[in-house]
Amino acid sequence: MTWFWLSLVGPFLYALTNHIDKILLERYFKEQGVGTLLLFSALLSAVAIPFIFLVDTSVMDVDRKSVFYLTIVSVLNLVVLWSYLMALMDEEATVVIVFYQLVPVFGALMGYTFLGEVLSADQLWAMAIVLIGTTIVSFEFEGLTKVRFKRRTVLFMSLASVSWATETTIFKAVALEENVWRSVFWEHVTLVALGVIILALVPSYRASFIQAWRMNSRPVLSLNFANETLYMVGNITVSYAVMLAPIALILLAESFQSTFVFIFGMISTILIPKYYKEQIGRVVVLQKLSAIAITGYGAYWLVSVTP
């Protein structure tokens, strides 16, 4: 069960980064925040490159085919981050992360569509339960009569979940051929390269990045550095866990992220409301807990009946 405890480190650290991302968007990047955080995330990946090289100096011995697939992984990684940040601009972290429970659902659908895998009745029921759980947080209730559908949140987090399921599958295929350190090294190299390309080709993102650097350099750099460090450590531990167990089981363990995010959100709202606040009314909390419990059960069922 080493893989299980190791795989929980990632969701725990990811949950911390989710709340840090929300703080950065609300306090420092109210305008063009998504592009700024995207660039910070991509460019700060450079920090990990020399450390990974020191751990495994054979990281350069990777064939071109593997580098190509890891480039796709990095692109998908940025798509996940962009979609997630777009959703996080308008919604609480606790609500946004619930939609990541769709990752194993999309993984099963991709297996059916592209690999000719057969979906059993149990799998379909489990997928339906996950969808019911995400539907619960897809609506905002204002009073007794007014209901708002969170269309942007649903669309962006669906895209993020599809991309995450795809990149996890590709990464494992490459890492089995190479090794974890080589795969993580080239993933970070391509992330930095993509960050430089975005910085050069997207004027609005470049302008907001430079402005954030000049105006809030110390707090922005400190929070972003801490954020990216947590994220990179989470990625490395999850990458090792992927090598020890089937992808479906790792994705199930990652579903604990929504629980960690909820707990951190409640604690932060109670202890430091000046800096971070989520809705903690009885109805809203019940809505969040119901969604987390239902999607968690559906994800567990889906994984348990998947060969």
Asked if residue 135 is part of any domain, the answer here is: no
> What confidence score (pLDDT) does residue 212 get?
75
> What confidence score (pLDDT) does residue 216 get?
64
For residue 210, what are the CA distances in angstroms to 15, 106, 167, 215? 28, 37, 30, 9
Residues 6+ apart with CB under 8 A from 179: 56
Q: Which segments in the chain show pLDDT lower than 50?
A: none
Maximum pairwise Cα distance, the chain: 62
> What confidence score (pLDDT) does residue 292 get?
93
Asked if residue 146 is part of any domain, the answer here is: no
Asked if residue 132 is part of any domain, the answer here is: no
Asked if residue 223 is part of any domain, the answer here is: yes
Backbone angles phi, psi at 140, to 5 degrees: -115, 130
* Residue 168 CA to its chain's centroid (Å): 11
Asked if residue 129 is part of any domain, the answer here is: no
Q: Which domain holds residue 29?
A: 2-87+151-278
Asked if residue 162 is part of any domain, the answer here is: yes
Residues 6+ apart with CB under 8 A from 274: none
pLDDT one-digit tens code per residue, 164-208: 888 877 776 666 666 677 777 888 888 899 899 999 998 888 888
> What confidence score (pLDDT) does residue 246 get?
64
> What confidence score (pLDDT) does residue 115 get?
64
Backbone angles phi, psi at 78, to 5 degrees: -70, -35
> What confidence score (pLDDT) does residue 134 get?
93
pLDDT one-digit tens code per residue, 67-110: 888 888 888 988 998 999 999 988 999 999 999 888 888 888 87
> What confidence score (pLDDT) does residue 86 get?
92
Asked if residue 172 is part of any domain, the answer here is: yes
Q: How far apart are CA 48 and CA 188, in angstroms?
A: 7
Number of domain units in the chain: 1
Asked if residue 191 is part of any domain, the answer here is: yes
The closest of 245, 243, 261, 262 to 253, measured between CA atoms, is 245
> What confidence score (pLDDT) does residue 294 get?
94
Asked if 177 and 263 count as a contact pair (C-beta separation under 8 A), the reply is no
CB atoms within 10 A of CB 214: 9
Asked if 196 and 126 count as a contact pair (C-beta separation under 8 A), the reply is no
Q: What is the DSSP letter of 57?
A: T
